[in-house]
Structure 1
């Protein structure tokens, strides 16, 4: 089993065929980053239409049992994901509507500030807002997984304390090995893991040990470091591959709301990791980790079983009773 917590591909059939060829069980596909309510709605429906039109290759993952059923054979599951909460239009009553439409992962804040809190590339970090608190409660009630990959430290800590359910990082790397602003400290990672969450390691070269000189060996070292910090049951893969995207996409992501002020980051250089340019990279990473002594049991957890457990718990609403929530 291979579950990749985060990719941002164009909706090109050949890209998803490559996932199937490389035996990818499921991927978190991001369909909203800076978009508002109406555009987020349109892009979610566009993704669902793509899934329907290519159901020989892909299927929608709205519950983990679908990944364990016969329909998952020779197909890749799509976990519908957002990198921001701007798509709710500042109204928490929209959360359940989007969950009903298939949304399963949301990041409350992406890089900058929004109505919910502060991202990791701006300061000062004002923390989780009152709206943000209501948003977290609504996400919990609806069984939507909360991603904190690009959330500021203070805001993220307050999300963790507010959330009744475990949270996760869909992509990150240890700050101890690379001081990139988006990377997470040992304490950050422990806080997520101690509450049942998963830390997914990115393939993006500037965030790995050795940064622009990074190799698959360096990514493997990052995986093993995080595993030592949080344990075997709290690590995963979130490649953040962007197949089919061009330079304009990277510019869009790097500016507040896509067209506003360019956000200050402390990394540069190509994001492509040699040996993980495409979905064949999972095999390269797995072989490297085997050479470094990781057991088959640990590899199975890293490449899918830990995320399967996490999503199963959060989507099923095991963390809280699914009765009328105060925010709904």
Structure 2
């Protein structure tokens, strides 16, 4: 369905493995788990295909990143310069635009593994070099760049950072990151930084004075702001401070699942009232609901329906946040290293090993859109949620 160009390239094929870079054993299968089917009718399949053909399909958070097979390799691999991208899997996604942070450890594990500012430039440069050698994806910098993806039969990657921690206390680094292609940046990850409080902090002090300076600079230069991992007060402060709409690239509703990782109604409403968009997350063991004891596409889409009813269809999108390989193992590795797991606390549940129907990027957006078709949403509303709403914000902010 609307597959993109793929010529067989695998990451760093131009180098010699275990000489120029360390070769890890990667979980590179596309069909890692049993095949999932929505059991769409022929007419429904045709409707899904029509949407993919005629409308922009935007994933507000997904990853071409491939998780190592061995748990012990995950953290060393994430800190390595040469992390592999699953070009074949992304080519099968049918997606036109992906907000991609390359899973290189820039913003999530900086404080714990010793990454420095210069490492950010190295990591981005290595990724961009690899991208130059293939035909499936390309780096986008402007709204117009993104609109070319469908015609080119490629996937436009919008370079993003999960958090702004790497800024430390230097606002000019926003400009430098922009110069190196970053077009969307989160304010915090789960823990606090010099800008504000992350969602696992017991006391949320809100946006700092430095954080306000960063928001102003991001507005000035034309960079999208993401509050997916911010604390509630910090989120509200960012929304109020920003002149531009603010995004939650991958989130869910706390009213359905009471954990810090989900967002309360007042924050969701504030985001929408400012013109922002909330991308519905499908990272394992996040967007659960009381009616779905295991994590499946159905629990994820319960969050979609709740938020769409709360803020309106014009302010929802899709941010699956999927990988190739064992996402749960990756979560555990990061939580164990950071010494936190509070983002998933607050509810008792049996851990799901993956999200049924949303296991990796090759199927995530297809199945989320297919679910909407199956549940009788109009083409107009599906097109908005599939990418139209996000593209509207992008057009306003990216200059």
For the Cα contact (< 8 Å) 1:107–1:146, is it kept in 2?
A: yes
- Once the two structures are overlaid, the 10-residue window that deviates more, 17-26 or 263-272, is 263-272
Could you tell me how far 1:225 is from its partner in structure 2?
Answer: 1.4
Q: Could you state the TM-score of these two structures normalised by the residue count of structure 2? A: 0.73
Aligned positions, number = 311
C-alpha distance in 1 between matches for 2:183 and 2:387: 17
For the Cα contact (< 8 Å) 2:284–2:327, is it kept in 1?
A: no
Deviations 1:32-77 (A, max 9, x none): 32334122222222222222122x1111111111122278522111
Structure 2 residue 337 is the aligned partner of structure 1 residue 262: no
For the Cα contact (< 8 Å) 1:216–1:276, is it kept in 2?
A: yes
C-alpha distance in 1 between matches for 2:100 and 2:197: 23
Counterpart in 2 of 1:6? 61
Could you tell me how far 1:90 is from its partner in structure 2?
Answer: 2.1
Structure 2 residue 304 is the aligned partner of structure 1 residue 231: no
The alignment partner of 2:285 has SS state of helix
User: Structure 1 270/214 Cα, relative in aligned 2: closer, same or farther at 3 Å?
Assistant: closer
Give RMSD over aligned pairs: 2.0
Q: How does 1:115-154 map to 2 (within 5 A)?
A: 115-154=194-233
The alignment partner of 2:61 has SS state of strand
C-alpha distance in 1 between matches for 2:192 and 2:334: 14
Counterpart in 1 of 2:131? 51
Could you tell me how far 1:171 is from its partner in structure 2?
Answer: 0.4
Counterpart in 2 of 1:75? 154
For the Cα contact (< 8 Å) 1:205–1:270, is it kept in 2?
A: yes
Counterpart in 2 of 1:312? 395
C-alpha distance in 1 between matches for 2:220 and 2:323: 31
C-alpha distance in 1 between matches for 2:353 and 2:161: 21
Unaligned runs of 5+ residues in structure 2 are 1-55, 67-82, 111-115
Unaligned runs of 5+ residues in structure 1 are 317-328
Could you tell me how far 1:156 is from its partner in structure 2?
Answer: 1.1
- Once the two structures are overlaid, the 10-residue window that deviates more, 278-287 or 183-192, is 278-287
The alignment partner of 2:89 has SS state of helix
Counterpart in 1 of 2:374? 291
User: Structure 1 17/39 Cα, relative in aligned 2: closer, same or farther at 3 Å?
Assistant: same
For the Cα contact (< 8 Å) 2:294–2:352, is it kept in 1?
A: no
- Once the two structures are overlaid, the 10-residue window that deviates more, 262-271 or 153-162, is 262-271
Instruction: Give the ranges of 4+ consecutive aligned residues of structure 1 lying more than 3 Å apart after TM superposition.
Output: 10-13, 244-249
Q: Could you state the TM-score of these two structures normalised by the residue count of structure 1? A: 0.88
Counterpart in 2 of 1:302? 385
